[in-house]
Structure 1
Amino acid sequence: MSLYPRKPDEKNFMKEKSLSDTAYAKEILFMESEAIRNLIGRLDHSFQKAIDLIFTCKGRVIVTGIGKAGIIGQKISATLASTGTPSYWIHSSEARHGDLGRIVANDIILALSNSGETEVVTLLPFVKQIGAKVIAITGNNKSSLASHSDVVLDIGKIKEPCPLGLAPSASSTAMLALGDALALTIFKKRNLSKEDYAFYHPGGDLGRKLLTVEMVMRKNEGNPVADEDMILLDVLTIMTETAGKPGAVSIVDKQNKLVGFFTDGDLRRHLKNGVSFLQYRVKEVMTRSPKVINARCLAAEAYKILKDYKIDQLPVVDGSNTPIGIIDVQDLLEVGF
């Protein structure tokens, strides 16, 4: 039995009163899926040219459109940006009132308009003067937009499955799918890794899983380090004056190699026996051979160490055991662990 009562082009189902709501919805989905399916045969040298232009773009891909096409454009721009292609969206009307200043010659304009005769067209003379290239996604390859674009991606004449045949639906679905095809093909061409992808999604679940220690750790001025022969009172000054007050300090020898770690927890434990230890050299009271982690490790590994050993800070070392950072449990909490 067919999933659909009949093909939408067999009858004017849009005005058919006898169809149930569910059957009617299935016909709509069929028309939208057909609009995407028909795009497959339309991908030709123009699509490849668009890919090449965007891939080699030295500026940004600026997406624009009006109405539903503009909303689809926002999603396409977001997908481009999240997959390694710098992009932002501008409203075609706002562009005519100052936002054109965002566009430079190295940029590419990705303009969406089904008819090819919307307000987007009024931007073209100014974009041409700036020197930016224009890629059009349109359903009318004879339109003004198509005529004045460097590359035309023609989605073809698409029948909208609304009762009046007017509301953008199948056409906007096709635009969205074509935008995904552009963005994801370029993403593949860039050969980015999961770690690269996670860099653009630090707040998401994948981002948390693939964050490295280097992305989260405190370094440079935020990484307190003290010589093993320093008096503890001076070491405490370093701890308290370090930006962010991590509550710990890495202890190094004369070769700048990590030999110990001292934390505010160590301080509290020693205070039970009085304050005379504050004049000791830090090497006499520090924790020797502390737990460490490499900057290239995943932040999730650092989180496990902190959790398993019930500690709040962890020194980060490079391949030669030189402390290059410190990771605090608060740093991991801030990124969602």
Structure 2
Amino acid sequence: MKLTKNIKTSAIEVLQKESDALQNLINYIDDDFEACVEAILSSTGRVVITGIGKSAIVAHKIVATLNSTGTPALFMHAADAIHGDLGMIQEDDFVICISKSGNTPEIRVLVPLLKRLGSKLIALVSNVNSYLAEQADFILNATIAEEACPNNLAPTTSTTVHMAMGDALAICLLEARGFTSEDFAKYHPGGALGKQLYLTVSDVIPKNQVPIVSLEASLTEIIVEISTKRLGATAVVDDFGKLQGIITDGDLRRMLQSGADIKHVSAKEIMTLNPKIIAKEEFAIRALNMMKNFNITQLVAMDGENVAGFVHIHDLMKEGIV
């Protein structure tokens, strides 16, 4: 089969057309978009998203994004709506209808039924002069110059901008609601992402013993504490249990190489002052970021002014957040 153009050239043209369309979409973030966001925010209902064909697939994605960012949403297939699925729509719900042309037969049948239910109708369309746009309470304008398909037929650019407009809507709602990473974690408890958002240092440190020596501890005591607790380091505390420093196996090697009198050396002479610490209530992902920033492998976890334990990078690797 003979190709009419270079494969790379064809791929670049597709991406360029879609990129241009996305850039142009910025021009359509207008007062109607803002009013749409404000109306959804003030509503006690959900967002029902409907479409047919490729638009239905885009609708599924936007529903998933809204649900995970604090806006209750559900999908209704435009063809199934007239066969019973209209029953899922409640009085205060908003309905987003996605359609490139805004004039498909299914949309023409569905829209009057939605209006009869009293639902607020949002049109996500690429044709603002369409039947759907004319009937809608709000228009999310996703006009495109052309599809990326060489025949200007296959939904490509249109589905890309529709999805992007859905993302813009979801994130505006997220920010307006003050939706935080902690809120996000409630809806994403599984996998590595979930652990990054909810796993705390206190969830990790109970798995480790707590290596601690006094300021006057001998070299033998230090070595035994580090080796038996298997974390490569020990905290050094004063008589009141307050953290004074840390001794790592690296500190021991440097001390031995210095030719110090190992018979009389004590912890206070070896320790590194002002060790890197983290509160046990902090998220484990912050501990990981601190280790990366300081190029270290462990942090002293603190319970107020007291040593609660150590969090080691191996602990975070085992939890799957590295």
TM range, normalised to the smaller chain? Answer: 0.5 to 0.7
Counterpart of 2:184 in structure 1 is: 197
Q: Which of 10, 32, 57 is the aligned partner of 1:71?
A: 57
Q: Which of 302, 310, 314 is the aligned partner of 2:203?
A: 302
Is 1:30 equivalent to 2:16 in the alignment?
yes
Instruction: Check 1:336–1:28 CA distance in 2 against 1; reply closer, same or farther (3 A cut).
Output: closer
Q: Which of 163, 166, 175 is the aligned partner of 1:188?
A: 175
Mapped to 2, the partners of 1:113 and 1:56 lie a distance apart of 25
Mapped to 2, the partners of 1:35 and 1:195 lie a distance apart of 34
TM-score, scaled to structure 1? 0.59
1:304 positional shift: 2.5
AA aligned opposite 2:205: K
Mapped to 1, the partners of 2:95 and 2:209 lie a distance apart of 52
Is 1:92 equivalent to 2:78 in the alignment?
yes
Mapped to 2, the partners of 1:71 and 1:146 lie a distance apart of 20
Contact 2:144–2:157 (CA<8 Å) still a contact in 1?
A: no
Counterpart of 2:119 in structure 1 is: 132
Contact 1:64–1:120 (CA<8 Å) still a contact in 2?
A: no
Counterpart of 2:155 in structure 1 is: 168
Mapped to 2, the partners of 1:204 and 1:146 lie a distance apart of 41
AA aligned opposite 2:26: I
Query: What are the Cα deviations for residues 248-283 of structure 1, in whole angstroms up to 9, with x where unaligned?
Result: xxxxxxxxxxxxxxxxxxxxxxxxxxxxxxxxxxxx
Instruction: Check 1:131–1:308 CA distance in 2 against 1; reply closer, same or farther (3 A cut).
Output: farther
1:67 positional shift: 0.7
Contact 2:147–2:158 (CA<8 Å) still a contact in 1?
A: yes
Query: What are the Cα deviations for residues 65-87 of structure 1, in whole angstroms up to 9, with x where unaligned?
Result: 01111101110111001000000
* Paired residue secondary structure (2:110): helix
Contact 1:134–1:150 (CA<8 Å) still a contact in 2?
A: yes
Counterpart of 2:48 in structure 1 is: 62
Instruction: Check 1:202–1:65 CA distance in 2 against 1; reply closer, same or farther (3 A cut).
Output: same
Mapped to 2, the partners of 1:155 and 1:200 lie a distance apart of 29
* Paired residue secondary structure (2:121): strand
Counterpart of 1:110 in structure 2 is: 96
* Paired residue secondary structure (2:54): helix
Contact 1:139–1:158 (CA<8 Å) still a contact in 2?
A: no
State the Cα RMSD in Å: 2.2
Contact 2:21–2:144 (CA<8 Å) still a contact in 1?
A: no
Which residues of structure 2 form unaligned runs of 5+?
Answer: 211-228, 230-318
Instruction: Check 1:163–1:195 CA distance in 2 against 1; reply closer, same or farther (3 A cut).
Output: same
Which residues of structure 1 form unaligned runs of 5+?
Answer: 1-16, 213-297, 311-334
Mapped to 2, the partners of 1:82 and 1:121 lie a distance apart of 31
Is 1:42 equivalent to 2:34 in the alignment?
no
Mapped to 2, the partners of 1:106 and 1:336 lie a distance apart of 42
Counterpart of 2:306 in structure 1 is: none
Query: What are the Cα deviations for residues 101-155 of structure 1, in whole angstroms up to 9, with x where unaligned?
Result: 0001100001100000121332122211221101101111111101111001121
State the percentage of identical aligned residues.
41
AA aligned opposite 1:103: I
Which stretch shows the higher mean deviation, 121-130 or 175-184?
121-130
AA aligned opposite 1:107: D
1:307 positional shift: 4.7
Mapped to 2, the partners of 1:42 and 1:93 lie a distance apart of 29
